[in-house]
Structure 1
Amino acid sequence: MSTAHRVFGTYAPASDPVHGGHQALSRFIAYFETLSRSSLDDIARIYAPNARFRDPFNNVQGLDAVRRVFVHMFAVTEAPRFVVLDALGNTTQGFVVWNFNFRGKGRAARDWVIHGATRLEFDAQGLVTLHRDYWDAAEELYEHLFMLGPFLRAIKKRLQAD
């Protein structure tokens, strides 16, 4: 879905004057799907100076701190890539469903796919002021680890409704 994204069920390219309010969401998706070490130099075109970023491992504020989260991602993974599956939004907020594909390094050197979603808030200039990632670290990561996986799967099985 990297060339067309649904915004409340309709295709809304950034240049569409009827859906112009979704320019911020379209710009974020284009940036997110092509994120690279070199594109981190352009992060101020997407995120506000005082942007907040939160995921299962990070809770930071400020453009430099958000940039460091992505720099770290490139340091600990090989070939990280986000694929946007769906998106909803308007002039003030957005919700993006994605897959994060990467290859682990070291003992985790295998291909991984993490399924998640991001809630976004935009300022009046269309810059991201809040980037909140939602994904299940236990299911997507920890259950696949040698020492932790069996223990977490056993707990999950015990807590499941029949």
Structure 2
Amino acid sequence: MTVDECCNRYIELFENLTPDRLGDLAALLSQDVRFRDPFNDVHGVPAMLRVLEDMFERTENPAFSVTHYCIDGERAYLNWRFSARVPVLGDWSVEGVSLLHFDRGGKVCAHLDYWDAGLLYARIPLLGWLIGRLRRRLAAKG
């Protein structure tokens, strides 16, 4: 499979991801894949799939929508929006970027997510008040 084919299939799977489709995703991953987001940094297919299983267990109706992507050699950049219903927080969404690295066989060997976890923390009642206050103090005066 080429990098382009793997990337397009990967996007299609993430946009339609369900617990039943995790095995399809695993087929696109190298055995030593690294997955990193603001809360996790794991290696290997079983560990990455466990992170995604946990997402399905902890949220309702999680969904990814890739809004743009760019393939550059053995890398791809995906802009996306994630939405879900999260206990305590209710409906929540965040935009982010994923950097994918592909091995010589065209499989994903790294999936590195970049998004602002502070947006999640700001929705937690007491913590949100503190973060809001800190943001106002640090904001540029204009």
Q: Give 5+ residue unaligned stretches, structure 2.
A: none
The amino acid of 2:59's aligned partner reads T
Amino acid at match of 1:118: S
Aligned partner (choices 145, 149, 153) of residue 124 of structure 2:
145
Residue 101 of structure 1 and its aligned partner are, at CA, apart by 0.9
Alpha-carbon distance between aligned partners in 2 of 1:22 and 1:144, rounded to the nearest angstrom? 37
CA distance in 2, matches of 1:51, 1:32: 16
The 1-side partners of 2:127 and 2:107 are apart by: 39
Is residue 2:18 matched to residue 1:36?
Answer: yes
Superposition misfits of 4+ residues, deviation over 3 angstroms: none
2:63 is paired with a residue whose SS is strand
Contact 1:24 1:91 survives alignment (8 Å): no
Partner of 1:6: none
Secondary structure in 1 matching 2:17? coil
Q: Residue 83 of structure 2 contacts residue 92 of structure 2 at CA under 8 Å; is this kept in 1? A: yes
- Map of 2:93 onto structure 1: 113
Letter in 1 for 2:54: H
Which residue number in structure 2 is paired with residue 136 of structure 1? 116
* Alpha-carbon distance, 1:91 to partner: 3.8
TM-score by length of 1: 0.82
Shift of 1:25: 1.5
- Partner Cα distance (1:100, 1:148) in 2: 22
Whether 2:44 is the aligned partner of 1:65: answer no
Cα distance in 2, alignment partners of residues 131 and 62 from structure 1: 11
Which residue pairs with 1:11 in the alignment? none
Structure 1 residues 21 and 63: CA distance shift in structure 2, 3 A: closer
Taking structure 2 as the reference length, what is the TM-score of the superposition?
0.93
1:101 alignment counterpart: 83
- The share of aligned pairs that are identical, in percent, is 36
User: 1:4 corresponds to which residue?
Assistant: none
Structure 1 gap segments, 5+ residues each = 1-13, 15-19
Structure 1, residues 138-157: CA drift from partner, whole Å, max 9, x if none?
1x201111010010111112
Secondary structure of the residue aligned to 1:125 is: coil
- Are the equivalent residues in 2 in contact too, given 1:52–1:129 (CA < 8 A)? yes
1:21 CA drift (Å): 4.7
Q: In angstroms, what is the RMSD of aligned CA positions?
A: 1.5
